[in-house]
């Protein structure tokens, strides 16, 4: 039987080469009690090394787990981390920037769920920022999909936080003693419904649209709904214009398949018509619905870690083979050498992902 490593050495420039490598490493290190070192952190990114949000994840893990960390600073290309115990209790952590609270949660959730006490996390930063899952994705896709593999979390949004100012806050209540169960997602259940969530955040003192103009959130939501209707998909729309520290526009399309979920997100920016944002989110959802994929692109790599710790083999169909998916698989197998993860195309061009915890 393959032996558990006493230390894991990682090259942060390999594969996708982003912050996910660090988050997965922190999670597995804390759960398994295995120290790790990582060099060439984010070497392929325009801004190399640790950014503030990555540093927060390292420092929060070290604080909550009483771990030892060497070399952690903004811009650092190499760190060494030695865990002590699993995180428990109530904690508030401020990223200090618009860094994604969702990504910080991913670094801390699994070790806390594994503990015998669980806990509560209040995370301050960006709740809706590009290139990261939004709070609405977490609440409507990530959390329900975790429940399909035997894990749970209760999420609450206290304040919205958009890029570049952040200032939002999410809360996660994490039950103790959670152990993931294997899944077999080879056939997608029937589509039950589609929900559209369109948001346009503004500071409270900023001028609102004058009477007679359609609010931005409604224009995004209506465009998404109209495109889906043209493709013979019916969808409900929830539009909101919440207070936030800066302007932000985002449109989500959430597909419900019994207990399974898939989510698609498009972003607005200054000068981009709201209708384009809504149509983009709807088009991504429609592309997924036309396929036989069971798990969406982002959720595919997120399922690897818990399923690698499950008590049996798992299978699911992903829409494509991404750098995040393959890199996360490689990181997991470094910490768990007895686990075998295969990602192979099927006859329809989808990616069949198999996780065998016993190799």
The residues that bridge with 195 in the sheet, in sequence order, are: 236, 254
Catalytic residue among 54, 106, 252, 324: 324
Alpha helix (H) ranges present in the chain?
Answer: 19-32, 52-65, 101-114, 135-137, 143-148, 216-230, 274-290, 297-308, 323-335
Question: 255: helix, coil or strand?
Answer: strand
Q: Where are the beta strands (DSSP E) in 177-225?
A: 184-185, 193-201
d(CA 225, CA 221): 6
Distance CA 137, CA 181 (A): 22
- CA distances to 28, 163, 229, 348 from 304, rounded to whole Å, are 12, 29, 34, 22
Burial 221-243 (b: 16+ CB within 10 A, else e): bbbbbebbeeeebebebebebbe
Please choose, from the candidates 139, 138, 55, 136, the residue with its C-alpha nearest in 3D space to the C-alpha of residue 94. Answer: 55
Q: Alpha carbon of 55 to those of 21, 71, 72, 97, 257: distances in Å?
A: 13, 10, 7, 12, 37
324 catalytic per annotation: yes
Rounded to the nearest angstrom, the gap between the alpha carbon of residue 38 and the centroid of all alpha carbons in its chain is 22
Catalytic residues, by residue number, are 324
């Amino acid at each position: 039987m393959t032996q558990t490593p006493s230390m894991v050495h990682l090259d942060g420039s390999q594969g996708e080469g982003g912050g996910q490598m660090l988050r997965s490493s922190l999670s597995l290190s804390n759960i398994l009690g295995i120290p790790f070192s990582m060099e060439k952190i984010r070497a392929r990114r325009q801004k190399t090394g640790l950014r503030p949000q990555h540093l927060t994840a390292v420092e929060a893990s070290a604080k909550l787990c009483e771990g030892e960390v060497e070399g952690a600073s903004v811009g650092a290309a190499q760190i060494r981390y030695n865990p002590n115990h699993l995180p428990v209790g109530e904690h508030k952590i401020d990223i200090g920037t618009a860094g994604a609270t969702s990504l910080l949660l991913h670094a801390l959730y699994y070790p806390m769920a594994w503990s015998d006490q669980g806990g509560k996390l209040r995370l301050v930063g960006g709740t809706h920022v590009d290139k990261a899952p939004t709070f609405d994705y977490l609440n409507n896709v990530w959390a329900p999909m975790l429940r399909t593999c035997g894990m749970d979390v209760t999420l609450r949004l206290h304040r919205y936080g958009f890029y570049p100012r952040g200032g939002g806050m999410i809360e996660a209540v994490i039950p103790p003693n959670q152990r993931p169960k294997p899944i077999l997602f080879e056939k997608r259940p029937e589509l039950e419904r589609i929900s559209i969530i369109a948001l346009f955040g503004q500071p409270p003192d900023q001028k609102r649209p004058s009477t007679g103009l359609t609010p931005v959130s409604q224009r995004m939501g209506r465009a998404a709904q109209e495109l889906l209707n043209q493709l013979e998909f019916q969808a409900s729309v929830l539009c909101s214009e919440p207070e936030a520290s800066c302007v932000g526009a985002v449109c989500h399309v959430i597909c419900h398949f019994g207990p399974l979920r898939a989510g698609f997100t498009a972003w607005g920016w200054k000068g981009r018509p709201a209708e384009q944002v809504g149509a983009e989110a709807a088009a991504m959802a429609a592309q997924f619905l036309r396929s036989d994929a069971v798990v969406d692109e982002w959720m595919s790599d997120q399922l690897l870690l818990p399923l690698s710790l499950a008590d049996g083999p798992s299978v699911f169909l992903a829409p494509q083979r991404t750098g995040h998916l393959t890199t996360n698989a490689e990181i997991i197998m470094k910490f768990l050498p007895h686990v075998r993860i295969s990602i192979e195309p099927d006859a329809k061009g989808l990616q069949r992902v198999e996780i065998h915890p016993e190799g």
